[in-house]
Amino acid sequence: MKKLQVLSAALLLGLASSAPAADLTTFQKTWFASTKPGSWVKYEQTTTDPKGKVRKSEMTMSRLGGDGDATWFEIRMVPKEGAKGKPTTIKYLLKTDFKVEENALDYMKYVETMILQEDGQEALEYPVDMMSQVAPALASNVDYGANVTPLGACSYEGKGGEKYRIEGSFDVKVVIVRMKGTTDTEVCLSDSVPFGRLYEKTVTKDDKGKLRDTTEMRVLDSGTGATSAIKGPVKKIEMPKMPWGG
């Protein structure tokens, strides 16, 4: 059961990192030309709850290279101020029809394989059956393209781009946890960094309109030469038997 809880947490992390993946055809430019094999970008992520409690983490997103035509994305989250848990790495193998240069954000629905590792623990590869039940549901029920509004030019740390407001709703079930609500995101997109985002701010509310949290991300650094943070052998795990059947 602990492994299942860790998987749920990992998929929720995937939701957070892919949140502004709206209908990218509404954007005025392709912003993902820098997301080449070996590229990476590091963000400071700050989440504030309704009581003002702040949690900070560093999140690094990478497109790994050196594996033929396969596309591997990797997310590494390192808790900082106010955040709990161990540093965690999630490595995704994406399906061959995923077009990175057109859409480097809306990737969760294309996940074929996922490898998860908390620092100091073994690396676990989750079966396709588990991903087919959980990851596509996570992505397909999220409508971040409901309303995309261009807001004009933006810049950060000397890099220019275009700002968009993305309003949407979500209805997500991860294993037995269901979440419903809305998101209101402002994101500055630029082709000068991998994965296209210079900064973003997302306000999340539940389905009753109550504030859940506010999350901000800002680029700290980016570059090339990315390598996987997964350490040691990878263990494949079996699909767990749920107590409620199915």
**DSSP character for 37?**
T
Proportion of the chain above pLDDT 70, given as a percent:
75
pLDDT value of position 133: 52
Q: For residue 26, is pLDDT > 90?
A: no
Name the 3-class secondary structure at 108: helix
| Distance in angstroms (rounded) separating the CA atoms of residues 223 and 139 | 28
Q: If you average pLDDT over residues 180-185, what whole number do you get?
A: 87
Domains within the chain, CATH numbers bracketed? 2-225 (2.50.20)
Given pLDDT bands bounded at 50, 70 and 90, which one contains residue 129? low
| Mean pLDDT estimate for the chain | 80
Decide if pLDDT at 24 tops 60.
no
Q: How far is CA 205 from CA 91, 105, 134, in A?
A: 29, 22, 23
Confidence of residue 130 (pLDDT cuts 50, 70, 90): low
**Arithmetic mean of pLDDT, 190-219:** 93
Find which of 37-46, 139-148, 183-192 is predicted with most confidence, using mean pLDDT: 37-46
